Structure 1
């Protein structure tokens, strides 16, 4: 049985399954407060319903902020063809769930409601994570800190890992030819 390190008391109990604590991955995280069985609906991702135009505007604003400050968190999820969900709200505890290259949960859209489901059994004290599914286009802007054995170093959806690995090989090859 895997033992997870004893962490300080939870900052906030979210629901019967999870609580918020400081995360070794990044900032605050969401942790299992009890065993969560595979397939369990853990938490809903909630927020403000916005149209695609507003979503793009907010995304561009966050990008500009990140260029100035070096960081800006994006909590916007694609919901359907016409709307997105901006989860950057204090009442949305699910916004604190971190990315992992070996996630133990996944976000599922059920009739325009976003729910996090357990991909496998999650043990008490284990950080709950999912694959953010970021596109490879701006991978350098999103370093990954999950620290898992499979970590590819960037927050990029698993489906794009082969392309990312080819890109990284090409970049390292170009660097080595310049220094030779």
Structure 2
């Protein structure tokens, strides 16, 4: 009997020790970081030498509509589907709007030629014949599987606290919704989403997008930093209301690959985001380095064309030849990525690129 009691104690100790080590693995080094509050259910960690750093935005768990006009434009009517098995039914009324597929709550279709701007995800809801039990609705993972941490280079960022599978929805990008660009408090945390009205056949020049700004109110998705080779994708989809009669556009962050505990969750802000910046991207990815090489070479090309650089004709010809070869090589290599929904290389001028600039970080005109 004593032996059995001792075995139970040892087993309990091993389980407790395992849990402690598991917790240790999914948070920053406790010798260097301290916990400094939470953004909703997501824990925030800062370096001990920067213990004064804090996330300024206020946490929300649903969109904030700025005014009644915005509410009227932001929500649109939804026609429910009448199929019982939406996954296998190719003529499902909800699925026909999108070529990006959701299965069991996960994004399961990736295609470089598809733009999330042109092919939004329209999930089923309670008003559909399937009662939204078909698995075509994006299901976000628990926010406790992530944490926010501060570093001197990128400041606050979002990290995986547990393994996140490819295609899992990391979260919805929440914030204040605006129609009028002049009313948004900041453009640093603002995304654009398109607005469609099936009942409007007029040719009037009307606002065809809404702005989701998280500079004052937001959630953990707002903490995702930019990376030229991101680990997550921002995709536009619709969210139905409780009775399924209306729906509104939003942005969801989906994992592009399997993320390990401690790995940063990043997205691509879009090329327009960097056009008016006084600083360059410093994400350190291979694609970022190649983009900078192309940019620097183009500057040299402009100088030579304008005659601002003194060199012989032979030197000019050699420089331009090297530039063409380098650009061709970089463009070819950059277009070979497997899962990117958009083409990442600046050497490509596909429609997908142009459309994605509309979906990603908003740039003040």
With normalisation by structure 2, the TM-score equals 0.37
Matches of 1:33 and 1:40 in 2, distance apart? 14
Matches of 1:24 and 1:179 in 2, distance apart? 41
> Against the structure 1 CA distance between its residues 96 and 136, is the aligned structure 2 distance closer, same or farther, given a 3 Å change threshold?
closer
Partner-residue secondary structure (3-state), 1:132: coil
Aligned length: 155
Q: Which runs of 5+ in 1 are unaligned?
A: 63-72, 154-160
> Against the structure 1 CA distance between its residues 102 and 35, is the aligned structure 2 distance closer, same or farther, given a 3 Å change threshold?
same
Higher relative contact order (CA 8 A, sep 6+): 1
The question of 1:102 aligning with 2:233 is answered no
1:44 to 156, 172, 191: 172
Matches of 1:120 and 1:77 in 2, distance apart? 23
> Against the structure 1 CA distance between its residues 174 and 128, is the aligned structure 2 distance closer, same or farther, given a 3 Å change threshold?
same
> Against the structure 1 CA distance between its residues 93 and 179, is the aligned structure 2 distance closer, same or farther, given a 3 Å change threshold?
farther
Correspondence for 2:278: 141
Correspondence for 1:169: 297
1:78 to 192, 195, 211: 192
Deviations 1:92-127 (A, max 9, x none): 322221000110001111111211000000110011
Within 5 Å, which residues of 2 pair with 1:1-180? Answer: 6-7=28-29, 8-9=33-34, 11=36, 12=38, 14=42, 15-23=143-151, 25-51=153-179, 54-55=180-181, 57=182, 74-80=188-194, 81-111=208-238, 112-135=249-272, 138=275, 141-152=278-289, 166-174=294-302, 178=309, 180=311
Moved over 6 A (4+): none
Matches of 1:28 and 1:98 in 2, distance apart? 8
Deviations 1:126-158 (A, max 9, x none): 1100111132882653511211232248xxxxx
Matches of 2:273 and 2:297 in 1, distance apart? 15
Partner-residue secondary structure (3-state), 2:221: helix
Task: Report the aligned-residue RMSD.
Answer: 3.2
Matches of 1:137 and 1:93 in 2, distance apart? 23
With normalisation by structure 1, the TM-score equals 0.71
> Against the structure 1 CA distance between its residues 4 and 145, is the aligned structure 2 distance closer, same or farther, given a 3 Å change threshold?
farther
Matches of 2:183 and 2:271 in 1, distance apart? 17
Matches of 1:137 and 1:22 in 2, distance apart? 22
Instruction: Tell me the CA shift for residue 17 of structure 1.
Output: 2.3
Matches of 1:113 and 1:136 in 2, distance apart? 19
Partner-residue secondary structure (3-state), 1:150: helix
Is the contact between residue 9 and residue 21 of structure 1 (CA under 8 Å) also seen in structure 2?
A: no
Indicate the structure (1 or 2) with the bigger Cα radius of gyration: 2
